[in-house]
Amino acid sequence: MTNPQRGELMIQLGQKNFKARVTVDNISRIEAQLDTTIMQLAQRLSDGSLKITDQVAVLTPVIRAGGNNVNEKEISELVFGSMVDSLKAIGEIVSNVLSVGEDEGNVEKVESQ
């Protein structure tokens, strides 16, 4: 079971499922490794210019933060074999980062509308 408030999500790559976790630390590392911002990453995802190596750089630390003992080679093989799953997972990661701080589930906000 995942806790979205803690940045946790489930990632499926082919037949494998991973509990993953988005943290400030792994997003900072991803931005540094790719030399890009999270917004630029979202744009690259949207326009289809995300390379396999970029996908591995995004997925590996997030999957590791979920408590999984994986390496880049294993993630690379899974990405290559399940490109659609990989891109979907990265979309969820980016969405998770960009939606931090929203009033999701705020009952008072819903009642006042």
Q: What is the mean pLDDT of residues 78-94?
A: 96
Give the per-residue pLDDT at 5: 72
Q: Domain locations in the chain?
A: 4-100
Are 19 and 2 spatial neighbours (Cβ–Cβ below 8 Å)? yes
Q: Is the pLDDT of residue 111 over 50?
A: no
- Residue 24 pLDDT: 93
For the entire predicted model, the pTM comes to 0.84
Label residue 113 by pLDDT band (50, 70, 90). very low
pLDDT, mean of residues 78-93: 96
How confident is the model at residue 7, as a pLDDT?
81
- Amino acid of residue 69: N
